[in-house]
Structure 1
Amino acid sequence: MRRVFRPSWQIVCHVSDVPNAGDYHTLEYAGESIIVIRGKDDVIRAFTNVCRHRGARIVDGPSGCAKKLVCPYHAWAYELDGQLSAVPIRGTYPQLDMSKHGLAPVDLEIYRGFIFVRLEDDGGPSVAQMIAPYDHEVAHYRFEDLRAIGRVTMRPRGVNWKNVGDNYSDGLHIPVAHPGLTRLMGTGYGVEAQPNVDKMWGPLLMRMNRNPSERAYLKYLPRVDHLPEDRQTLWTYFKLWPNVAFDIYPDQVDFMQWLPTSPTECLIREISYAIPDDRREMKAARYLNWRINRQVNAEDTWLITRVQDGMASESFTVGPLSEAEVALRNFARKIRRLIPEARQHRAPAPGWSRTSAPAA
């Protein structure tokens, strides 16, 4: 948590999810609850969801709207910019400097309309710097104009978060375990890795397909005028260090992140966005996209569960990686640099995290 997640950028929502003053979204991870809220001055800010009086959580739920943020415990009130503005029985706090007890701010970055937060600044790159090698590709999809077409879903998984990420960036299992993707893309699936972002892609094969959902998707997917020809039938995936992904289709964009909840459990958080388009063909394509990927997700859940179960065996040791597993190699190098103990075949003794330090 300290070396990987607190310094990493985590996606919260899109600016279109907080369109008006007082609109907020929350994100809970790494033992923290974060509020992202739009102020009366139209500025979007992030704070920890913690009252500066006795530490109570201020808001509940994934989203809402408030004229002020009022703690339900003792009614300390904060303005939308985080400043403490009201304290009941104020006179009984003679030494209180209200200007010093505003909500604790959290680093925030907006990348092409998506809002990211970071608990600690370790000098690492911004979101824009991380995805810079592919920003020219992302630009085609008009992220700034996206709107949510569903709701945030939270899917618990009984696996370590790294198993989800490794599976996401693994191209070798596609022809083995995903018959649907293989029918759609043939052998055209590609994987490459940059220092802080992986890219996976597959051009769709516009050929006869026996699967009803896949055949209908290929039939009804309409032309998207703002996309170049080579992206009209291209599925592209980007994974940002360490656990945030964008699935980019001609018809929609999904984000997904996998948040650790224990060494053997995580929570997958995801939602779909799209540029408003009322064409019947587009509505059909988006529905069929969901049907296709629901099956892919079920296959991946089965796979990562088998890996987690196998890792519990006394016989398990870290296996070799193919030269083709470029994204997994890149991720493993970063984890091992931050947590040298990750090189071991067995978990270190209890208490190791309090005494060990990252390699130089």
Structure 2
Amino acid sequence: MRQENIKVNNVVRATETTLPRENYVSSEIFELEHRNIFSKQWTYAGHISQIPKIGDYFLHSYAGESLIIVRESADTIRAHYNVCRHRGSQLTKSDSGTVKSFVCPYHQWSFALNGALRRAPMMPDKDCIDYEKLSLHPAAVEVWAGLIFVNLDPAPAESLLELVGPPSECVQKLQPENMKEIVRDLLRVQANWKTLLENYLECYHCAGSHPELGIAFDIQSSYGQTADWGGSCFIGGEPLRKGFRTVSMTGELVSKPLGLFAEEKELPAEVTDGMGLLPVLTRVIFHLDHAIIHTMNPISEREVEWTTRWYVRSDAVEGVDYNPDTVAEVWRATNAEDKELCERNYRGVLSRRFISGPLNPIAEGAVRPALNLIEKLLTY
């Protein structure tokens, strides 16, 4: 558990470490994490712009599960496990599409958009089987400011809104529901998911490893910001250096201003907001002109997927208002650098000589609280 840092000669003494080596290499601990953490946590799945019409759906993969995210009505979005209630065949392998119902390709059992079994050939309802008992297995789903979040648990202990709270005044002004995805990058990182998490939660390494991010990102301010992160949720964006408008290679806008900011004659600097979910990280970052959403997907004790999506306002025109490569430039470079750092770090953790060393009490202040949360969840 966490120890209190103490001061010696007015210097904060480092007393905290990361977890013992076993926590990063054990398949048994990974399975325990799946049962107690992955299957019970809210994570980001996609944006409402991906399913604008009734019957529109997309697939979402997380923690070894495939979910169907589908619009049932103008006001209702469902999440179903992509598993037929007959013999388990996946209902669809297409990443996205539009359907009136889901028909299993194996034996043609059909399911309504709400998951209810509608037809099983040669097996009439009530006479042979009870259709009402064979609906698709649901997952929980909620929409927050146009962003779709899912929880593998169909009845989570806490709703997303209870966890995060309503969007801030700034987020409402940015109108993230009126965005569209323009770039998505997926990296498979050969490391334990907690190695990647720890890397994201600290910027002790940033000055020496992320020259692109350091152009507009205020590294020193981030130390104080992340020190306040704790629990399953944190609120806030990415601190910008004074006078900068967005995270880009110049600090200047790379697309049209989001939401109501487009109506302002004098654009403000340093607009930033967002939120994060822990311990399996979802990080939402809003800037004046675009948004970045990072998500983590644990694959095994030695592999994790890191996905980054970039969004601009829905009416922005490619080649006129933005260039996708320019919008993604900073974080694309940063992600590639972090992949190399994490994989090198994990190769060292695999050594039987590895013993965790002291954490920087200022620059790595968010690491131990997140690990404390993991340890707490594993004991439930």
Q: Under TM normalisation by the shorter chain, which class is it?
A: 0.7 to 0.9
The question of whether the paired residues in 2 share the 8 Å contact of 1:244 and 1:255 is answered with: yes
Q: Which residue of 2 aligns with 1:197?
A: 233
C-alpha displacement at 1:56, in angstroms? 0.8
The question of whether the paired residues in 1 share the 8 Å contact of 2:256 and 2:322 is answered with: no
C-alpha displacement at 1:159, in angstroms? 1.2
1:265 matched to 2:299:
no
Q: Which residue of 1 aligns with 2:57?
A: 24
- Which one-letter code corresponds to 1:195 in the other structure? G
Q: Which residue of 2 aligns with 1:218?
A: 252
Q: Which residue of 1 aligns with 2:312?
A: 274
Q: Which residue of 2 aligns with 1:89?
A: 122
C-alpha displacement at 1:138, in angstroms? 3.0
Distance 1:246 1:34 in 2: 21
Distance 1:53 1:336 in 2: 38
The Cα offsets for residues 13-70 of structure 1, whole Å up to 9 and x where unpaired, read as 1112111111111112223211111125652111111111111110113211111100
Q: Percent identity?
A: 28
- Which one-letter code corresponds to 1:226 in the other structure? L
Q: Which residue of 2 aligns with 1:253?
A: 291
Q: Which residue of 2 aligns with 1:166?
A: 198
SS at match of 2:252: helix
5+ residue gaps, structure 2, are: 1-33
The Cα offsets for residues 217-269 of structure 1, whole Å up to 9 and x where unpaired, read as 53766666734989634455643112211132222112121111110101122
The question of whether the paired residues in 1 share the 8 Å contact of 2:254 and 2:327 is answered with: no
5+ residue gaps, structure 1, are: 208-212, 340-357
The question of whether the paired residues in 2 share the 8 Å contact of 1:112 and 1:143 is answered with: yes
**Change beyond 3 A, Cα 1:224–1:78:** closer
**Change beyond 3 A, Cα 1:307–1:222:** same
The number of residue pairs the alignment matches comes to: 333
The question of whether the paired residues in 2 share the 8 Å contact of 1:106 and 1:119 is answered with: yes
- Which one-letter code corresponds to 1:214 in the other structure? M
Distance 1:322 1:188 in 2: 14
Q: Which stretch has the larger CA shift, 290-299 or 79-88?
A: 290-299
SS at match of 1:149: strand
Report the TM-score, using the length of structure 2 for normalisation.
0.78
Q: Which residue of 2 aligns with 1:232?
A: 269
**Change beyond 3 A, Cα 1:102–1:187:** closer
Report the TM-score, using the length of structure 1 for normalisation.
0.82
SS at match of 2:148: strand
1:144 matched to 2:177:
yes
Counterparts in 2 of 1:278-289, with a 5 A limit? 278=316, 282-284=321-323, 287-289=325-327
- Which one-letter code corresponds to 1:132 in the other structure? G
**Change beyond 3 A, Cα 1:82–1:222:** closer
1:56 matched to 2:89:
yes
**Change beyond 3 A, Cα 1:92–1:322:** closer
Distance 1:181 1:18 in 2: 32
The question of whether the paired residues in 1 share the 8 Å contact of 2:290 and 2:313 is answered with: yes
SS at match of 1:272: strand
Q: Which residue of 1 aligns with 2:365?
A: 326
Q: Which stretch has the larger CA shift, 246-255 or 126-135?
A: 126-135
**Change beyond 3 A, Cα 1:45–1:123:** closer
C-alpha displacement at 1:160, in angstroms? 1.1
Distance 1:113 1:26 in 2: 17
SS at match of 1:203: coil
> RMSD value over aligned CA atoms?
2.9
C-alpha displacement at 1:12, in angstroms? 1.4
C-alpha displacement at 1:298, in angstroms? 1.7
Distance 2:269 2:88 in 1: 50
